Chain A
Amino acid sequence: MTTIDTQVGATTQGTVPSFVTATGHWVTSADHKKIGRLFIGWSLIHAIEVAVIGALFGFERISPSHMQILNGDSIIQLDAYYNHLLVLGTLAPLLLGIAIAVVPMQVGSKAISFPRLAQFSFWSWLFGSGLVLVSILGNGGPGGGNADMVDLYLLGVATVCVALIAGSVSVATTVLTSRAPGMQLDIIPSFSWSALVGSIATLLSLPVAIGTIIYLYVDHEHAKVAFDGNSGVSKWLGWVLTTPQIFVFVVMALGVLAEVAPVTARTRQPQRAAVLVGLALVTTAVLGAVTQTSHMLDTSGSGSDTIKSAIFFLLFNGLPLLGVVASVAVALLSFKDGSPSVNAPFGAALLGAFMVLLGALSSFIAHITSVDVAGTTFAEGTTLAIVYGSVLASVGALTYWAPKLWGVVLPDQKVLGVAALGTIGTVLAALPLFIAGFQKQPKGAAFGFDYDGPIALWNLISGIGSLLVVVSVLGFIGLLVKEVRSGAQAPDDPWNAHTLEWSIPSPAPTNNFAELPKVFSSEPLLDAKPAHQEVGS
């Protein structure tokens, strides 16, 4: 038997490195937990930034006859930056960061595969994000007036895509090659499974975006004959920042719920295979994404035309929705036989998953031609529900794994409060945009539109919703910082959890496992615990 000393990390306490030394450690560290935390930290900063821009957009739209807060000349660029930040600045890196930090521990590996590649992933993502910001500030980006800065924007987005692919290769390789002895693919933890399928879908879809960027860059730099100059950037790259592509990133948020639900219910997942299939189905969105076409359900034609459009519509839009519904519903089946006591990780993950479900449903509806919401704020509401929902699920994930990543247990009630506030904010931010979408409020426009209805009210509520999300994320960061600064030591297994990462000390030591454990089931830690800790056994 392998006996693991839970006080290994204590030996390093009491030594406070200088700022330069500490910075050097963070910059050069190949420890996957540090790289993951860097991703998480910067993504949360981006989440605040993006919600502030969302709020500004909402407030600007209160009086659409003229501009009040923002500059009318740069609204296209700001909208492009906003969408970039939502998906490639917040959603994808936040969940990838959690995967980089957690997956190696979950699968029983001492390190992530190709740690330098994971390190490259973070720093190049940060560099690419900086290039995008600089280009927008320099009058670049879609619709920008400075040609060099437009090129810089394309370079920045390409760098971000390359970075995310690099991180995905590292995560997927870890799951495929570095699992603990005995851990077959069908018994890997649900979150690791979602990280695997999400990573593979990412590294299959983002190269298509890079190919498009290469065309755009060469054309914009030299010819401007094929891709409509800078105004063509959003047209050709827009698919990366909306559904169905963003489901590829979202799958890990759903994986958090699938991971936490059985732990909260204190039982084994009764339909594990169905959860894994549901998560995999979400990533079928990659099919719809790489075709770069909206596969609409058109019922205006003949019967055969309707059936033809329905097949593609269901394949490209229905399957991801089915995956979201299945993974959420089946994950909750744990509570059928379990004895739940709702905790913060589960609460936040569930609320986040419901928001993602709301976004998935709205995306499905938006692809029905007769609903007629194309080009309206309906799509903005969809993206907000999915991205903010994923941030909420990430709050659940970070609360759940905080003992391993920071060595602290976050206060349950306060995190639940933060998650509830974030949920209210998400609903308030997204729902008015759905309603305004039905009224044909144009997507990405801050002024120059009009319709019958309370324009000011819908946009004011949406702006307030985004502000609540800002407060929610800030509140979570504040709670985390406060707990870390308090120096309170988390127990090794505060959730009475099922998977390998809870067999090692909190916080997790640099090389995770002193000795590799042997695994016989999908809940190896539950197997090792006294039977009375599992309900129904």
Chain B
Amino acid sequence: MTLALPAAPQQSPRRQTLVATALVAASAAMLMAGMLAMWLKFRAGAPTRESSDGLKIIKDWMPKDVTIPEVAANTMFVTFPVAALMAQWAVYCAKRKDSQHRSLALAIVAVIGLAIVNAQVAVYAQMEIGLADGAFQTMFYAITGTMLLLVAGGVAFTLVALFRSVGGRDDDQQVISAHALYWYSLTAIFTAMWFVVYVQK
């Protein structure tokens, strides 16, 4: 028995990498949203104490002797959008088949990604807190460490895109676009984390 259906012209899947990256980015966002929600829950459940200047009553969440190095944290906050901008530049270059600047843009993203990892390590070093010192410290390491893993994933994605670009893949526009989408999502996720963990503490 044979069945007949009207034939369609051969076509490749539509924006597979971009769609999958969007789904993964949504998963990453939910991962961090869940962790931030638990952070807020624990902070809301903490007892109260006087602030160090004695002027107001605050939640006894972050220990008195712990200071978050704001320069490094704020540098990361500013750096993420720059990484996303460079990733978008790579997309712009890919559309124009400008392989030289596409590779340059991707290389800059990779360097910025490594700089972010370095900044996070600097935050850990300057804070000098132990992982087992208390609930704040444990959760701080857990949430920032998870963010660090997401950034490491972004750097790996960047390096793959960069090697493909250097290797002469001029038809790689979809991968470059997906790469930019991932860095946009990282920027949004870090902004939320920066506000909750580094600003509101």
Contacts and interface: CB of A to CB of B under 8 A. Distances in A.
Given A203-B23, A290-B34, A516 B142 contact: no
A525 B5 CA distance: 8
Contacts of B200: none
Contacts of B52: none
The size bracket of the interface on A is 35 or more
Contacts of B137: 223
B3 A176 contact: no
Contacts of A516: 7-11
Interface in A1-41: 1-6
Contacts of A208: 30-31, 33-34
Interface residues of B, number: 43
28 contacts: A1-B4, A1-B7, A2-B6, A4-B4, A5-B2, A6-B2, A113-B20, A169-B20, A173-B20, A178-B16, A180-B8, A181-B8, A206-B27, A207-B31, A214-B145, A214-B146, A215-B35, A215-B38, A215-B138, A218-B138, A219-B142, A290-B33, A515-B8, A516-B7, A516-B8, A517-B7, A525-B3, A525-B5
Interface string B130-163: 0111110111011101100000000000000000
Determine which residue in A206, A207, A516 has the highest number of CB atoms from chain B within 10 A of its CB, and name it.
Answer: A207
Contact of B8 (A5, A6, A165, A517): A517
Determine which residue in A114, A205, A214, A519 has the highest number of CB atoms from chain B within 10 A of its CB, and name it.
Answer: A214
Contact of B32 (A182, A211, A215): A211
Interface of A: 1-6, 109, 113-114, 117, 165, 168-169, 172-173, 176-178, 180-182, 200, 203-212, 214-215, 218-219, 222-223, 225-226, 290, 491-493, 500, 502-503, 515-519, 524-525, 528
B28 interface: yes
A205 B8 CA distance: 37
Given A109-B13, A208-B31, A211-B146, 14 more contacts: A4-B2, A6-B2, A114-B16, A114-B20, A173-B19, A177-B14, A207-B31, A208-B33, A218-B142, A223-B135, A226-B42, A517-B7, A518-B7, A528-B5
Interface string B101-139: 000000000000000000000000000000111110111
Contacts of A502: 3
A226 B139 contact: yes
Contact of B141 (A117, A200, A218): A218
B26 A203 contact: yes
Determine which residue in A215, A290, A518, A519 has the highest number of CB atoms from chain B within 10 A of its CB, and name it.
Answer: A215
Nearest to A224: B132
Determine which residue in B14, B19, B28 has the highest number of CB atoms from chain A within 10 A of its CB, and name it.
Answer: B19
B33 A226 contact: no
B38 A212 contact: yes
The 4 closest A-B pairs by CB, nearest first: A208-B34, A207-B31, A2-B7, A226-B135
A209 B33 CA distance: 11
Contacts of B131: 218, 222-223
B16 A3 contact: no
B24 interface: yes
Given A5-B2, A114-B20, A516-B11, A212 B135 contact: no
B1 interface: yes
Contact of A207 (B5, B8, B27, B135): B27
B35 A211 contact: yes
B169 interface: no
Contact of A211 (B3, B38, B138): B38
A493 B2 CA distance: 10
Contact of B4 (A3, A205, A210): A3
Nearest to B138: A223
Contacts of A2: 4-7
Determine which residue in A1, A2, A117, A208 has the highest number of CB atoms from chain B within 10 A of its CB, and name it.
Answer: A208
B19 to A, nearest CB: 5
B93 to A, nearest CB: 25
B59 interface: no
B23 A172 contact: yes
A216 B6 CA distance: 55
A290 B29 CA distance: 13
Contact of A225 (B11, B15, B138, B141): B138
Determine which residue in B31, B42, B141, B143 has the highest number of CB atoms from chain A within 10 A of its CB, and name it.
Answer: B31
A4 B5 CA distance: 8
A356 to B, nearest CB: 25
Nearest to B3: A503
Interface string B159-191: 000000000000000000000000000000000
Contacts of B10: 515-516
B188 to A, nearest CB: 15
A106 B5 CA distance: 14
Determine which residue in B10, B132, B143 has the highest number of CB atoms from chain A within 10 A of its CB, and name it.
Answer: B132
A378 B101 CA distance: 63
Nearest to A173: B20
Nearest to A202: B27
B176 to A, nearest CB: 17
Contacts of B32: 211
A373 B187 CA distance: 45
B31 A169 contact: no
Given A178-B16, A212-B34, A290-B34, A204 B1 contact: no
Nearest to B36: A211
Contacts of A222: 131-132, 138
A285 B4 CA distance: 41
